[in-house]
Chain A
């Protein structure tokens, strides 16, 4: 009896991610949502520049590789050209919260009917571990070797909290993938973000607190603990905006 299978929406190409990286988990959650909602044939994914740049090889849906930070603008073009299709972006913190901040904010402000999967692992992974817009105060990286000094380079960007100030977005939730309970909650959130799009509700963003054992210089297990002990206190989990709930209130 098969109790667990790789989602059919993922290709057989071996993932290039480092051991212990949680991109694999999030890819699976996205693929499961697409499979459960039977939307593989009508979905187009937009991938970023960063560690998940080659995610176009991992999903069986049609895929577009965007330039750094511009995935929400590319997704906007696809959205306007293909009104009955499902469009998602998959972006890291450097892509979405630094170089692409403007595209992120304005796609949210327009309430573009897209689903954004935002991987926050507090570091630039692909380029070898530089300080990200989401690196924690005091966090040591290649470009903050003495720890992130907030006096010199400011404070981390809290995307969900920031976007929640806008009238535009339909749904904003922050989840984590550091333990089974959190992974199950993340799965539900990601599926919900796709359901919102199918219902035409608009911009849904799921921020996923993720690990980068390689560039954090930790074992995979220790990295998961770091999410729990350091990241979650700074980036609290939960729903930051849900227009459905607002309408009820």
Chain B
């Protein structure tokens, strides 16, 4: 299937998961990600896989926990309120060092919010996926092709580091159709000697567990896990850089916001403004080095987000507050227009030209 096919982003995730060797999917209906479940319901029986509509988001993530315990690739998908319900399970997966792929096709919040696209689960995904000391790898696709590619990548990273990888998409990415091609990746079989598949009376029993009542032991476990996280921060941060080299202004955005921002950057360049775009592909680990590098010449940053401004803090931290970070946002299911971003860019240019603003 290397020729291009026209597909919805949600369907591209589902097909890529199957290519990645995922044969178990558990989910619960919620807009705007239900196409993933519908696709899996159709495809899994055809290939001897398992699609099961769970009784709740909570049950779905715990079914994921069961399959992952057995050492198989497994996924669930949902949208914002449903991901909140999964957060207990995400914490247990982290505590038991179990790999899984979880997809969040975000909608507006808080509460029941709306069903239109949003990026307001940034904090939830990158900082507060559940209780306790843990992280998730968070991948932010900006095209249907990337929905497929990052799904493949997510499964590999989850297995490699024994943790959850989350695809943080939004309603636009899930619903829009674009040509996509699928490259069957070489299936890397990761050894999982920890998996529970029955001892066959050949080895001591394996235990999948996140309970450590001795505080020294729990501390050691967490410190070990964070050593792994440090390695991920060093090796796995990814971003796209566009016209960054000479830029006075850096626009930062991910997902649909980055696509809008790119048009605005082109329009601003046409007006002679030296502006570039950094598009984080991994939100955790955050591409700090690329941003810090850009801050050696850029005088102002603009965070473009479909939220009240959640990534803006990470940008300030990444650039060590060397430059001000403006926020260009729409929220509640609204998407910034290229004109809005262009206005933010021209405003930033004016400020650079007229004032010296300390951070």
Contacts and interface: CB of A to CB of B under 8 A. Distances in A.
Chain A contact patch, size range: 35 or more
Given A66-B62, A78-B70, 11 more contacts: A42-B200, A64-B66, A65-B207, A66-B92, A73-B54, A74-B63, A75-B66, A77-B67, A78-B67, A86-B198, A103-B59
A240 interface: no
The 6 closest A-B CB pairs, nearest first, are A77-B66, A73-B62, A62-B196, A106-B55, A77-B63, A41-B201
Contacts of A57: 207
B112 to A, nearest CB: 20
A56 B204 CA distance: 12
B18 to A, nearest CB: 16
Contact of B69 (A61, A70, A77): A77
A78 B196 contact: yes
B210 A65 contact: yes
Chain B contact patch, size range: 35 or more
A225 B196 CA distance: 40
A63 B194 CA distance: 11
B52 interface: yes
Interface in A44-65: 44, 46, 53-54, 56-57, 59-65
B199 interface: yes
A61 B205 contact: yes
A82 B66 CA distance: 10
Given A56-B207, A65-B208, A80-B52, A73 B199 contact: no
B218 to A, nearest CB: 14
Contacts of A56: 207, 209
A102 interface: yes
Contacts of B56: 102
Contacts, number: 134
Contacts of A40: 199, 201
Residue among B55, B62, B66, B74 having the largest count of chain A Cβ atoms under 10 Å = B66
Contacts of B26: 77
Contacts of A44: 69-70, 196-198
Contacts of B60: 73
9 contacts: A41-B202, A60-B204, A64-B207, A65-B207, A65-B211, A67-B65, A77-B64, A80-B67, A81-B70
Interface string A77-95: 1111110011000000000
Contact of A82 (B64, B198, B200, B204): B198
Interface string B191-231: 00000111111101111111100000000000000000000
Contacts of A43: 198
B55 A62 contact: no
B268 interface: no
A67 B92 contact: yes
A62 B63 contact: no
A67 B50 contact: no
B58 interface: yes
B89 A67 contact: yes
A76 interface: yes
A43 B69 CA distance: 13
Contacts of A66: 62, 65, 92
